[in-house]
Structure 1
Amino acid sequence: MKSVLVCDDEPIIRMSLKNKLRELGFDEIRECGDGEQAVETALATMPDIVILDVSMPKKDGITAARDIRRRLKIPIILLTACCDAATVKRAKESGIGGFLAKPFREQDLWPAIELACAHADEVENLKEEVEDLKETLESRKVIEKAKGVLMRNQGLSEPEAFRRMQKLAMDKRKSMRQIAEAILLTES
């Protein structure tokens, strides 16, 4: 099941988008007419994708998109009649996955959705990789410190200290980082 939230203050545009989205296989289509309602609806229903008009009452589409992206890691497409540099810059900083120019052409909707979804997936994968790399780096720092403690306190060479930590990790069924942290705790 694919779900989408369409938010535009013009009912005729919402209707046109809904018809095309049904053709594209979206079976759950929610709609609203202002930015505040878009944020509330998105957070309550967690759609697969959001299409927002830039100019809306109560909260503009870019601000609404930023608020949604803070909580949900879903693709967002902006629908806009003006693609000036300032709007594009704000959209880019808010994590927008694509633009549809008004009046939108139906044949442009599917590629915009596909690209926005691919972009959102890529960004999330990169964020996960960065977090994994940070964790690996932190683990290595802790392991290196613990190795240094073993080398200093027990007169071991670097390979011997590393092997001792490896053996402890296997014997105790713990990670190298857990063993290193325990060594550092006994040191302090």
Structure 2
Amino acid sequence: MLRILLINDTPKKVGRLHAALIEAGFEVINESGLTIDLPGRVEAVRPDVILIDTDSPSRDVLEQVIMVSRDQPRPIVMFTDDDDPDVMRQAIRAGVSAYIVEGIEAKRLKPILDVAMVRFESDQALRAQLQARDQQIAERKRIELAKGMLMKLKDCNEEQAYTLMRRQAMSRQQKLIQVAEQIIAMNDLLGS
């Protein structure tokens, strides 16, 4: 069963989402208002999903969502009465996986949570791919820098420098980036 942290930011409608969750058979492990520190609450409770019930997400709410999405990513579903497309975009950019406007019915909760979980997993996979690609680009730049240093030091061409680096990597059973970092460090040490 999903562990749900419910954030209730609707004082005039307190309990509407909590009651729908209970009716749908979910267990709400914690319920609080948004006066709390959301990242701290998520750390303490470690929910599978965060549900935010709000009339309209304020800047403070969105900042809290950004912090959680950055440091402790979780699927976040926001139930709101605000159908403003700009507010919706801001919430999605902040890290909300599903932005649900108007109406909370118990029978809709499971499909909504399922979609939010799938979207969250897809977003996380995309972020991981982007991070891996950024890492590859950064490594490629460092390898090129080391190759240039080696070309200058050994007075050789690019292909020869690359061959020297590959041989060193194979003989030491290291990755090419490790050899590149060693060359850069040695160059910095010698002040070349």
* Alignment TM class, shorter chain as reference: 0.7 to 0.9
Hey, what does 1:153 align to over in structure 2? 153
Hey, what does 1:17 align to over in structure 2? 21
Q: How many residues align?
A: 182
Hey, what does 1:174 align to over in structure 2? 174
Shift of 1:172: 1.9
- 1:173 aligned counterpart, secondary structure: coil
Residues 6 and 51, structure 1, Cα contact 8 Å, conserved in 2: yes
- Quickly say closer, same or farther: Cα 1:147–1:87, change in 2 above 3 A: closer
Structure 2 residues without counterparts, runs of 5 or longer: none
Flag the structure with more relative contact order, 1 or 2, with Cα contacts below 8 A and sequence separation at least 6.
2
Residues 7 and 14, structure 1, Cα contact 8 Å, conserved in 2: no
C-alpha distance in 2 between matches for 1:141 and 1:83: 45
C-alpha distance in 2 between matches for 1:71 and 1:184: 32
* Percent of paired sites with the same residue: 21
Hey, what does 2:83 align to over in structure 1? 83
Shift of 1:33: 4.0
C-alpha distance in 1 between matches for 2:63 and 2:152: 56
Hey, what does 2:44 align to over in structure 1? 44
Shift of 1:79: 1.1
Residues 165 and 180, structure 2, Cα contact 8 Å, conserved in 1: yes
Matches within 5 A, 1:52-71: 52-55=52-55, 61-71=61-71
Matches within 5 A, 1:112-127: 112-127=112-127
Hey, what does 1:144 align to over in structure 2? 144
- Quickly say closer, same or farther: Cα 1:151–1:61, change in 2 above 3 A: closer
Structure 1 residues without counterparts, runs of 5 or longer: 23-27
Greater CA drift, 127-136 or 85-94:
85-94
Greater CA drift, 58-67 or 136-145:
58-67
Residues 75 and 97, structure 1, Cα contact 8 Å, conserved in 2: yes
C-alpha distance in 1 between matches for 2:55 and 2:74: 21
User: What's the CA shift string for 1:6-61, capped at 9, x where partnerless?
Assistant: 23351243122123143xxxxx52232411347243231111111111239x9975
C-alpha distance in 1 between matches for 2:117 and 2:183: 46
Q: Give the superposed CA RMSD.
A: 2.6
TM-score scaled to structure 2, two decimals? 0.80
Shift of 1:168: 0.7
Letter of the structure 1 residue corresponding to residue 23 of structure 2: N
C-alpha distance in 1 between matches for 2:18 and 2:59: 17
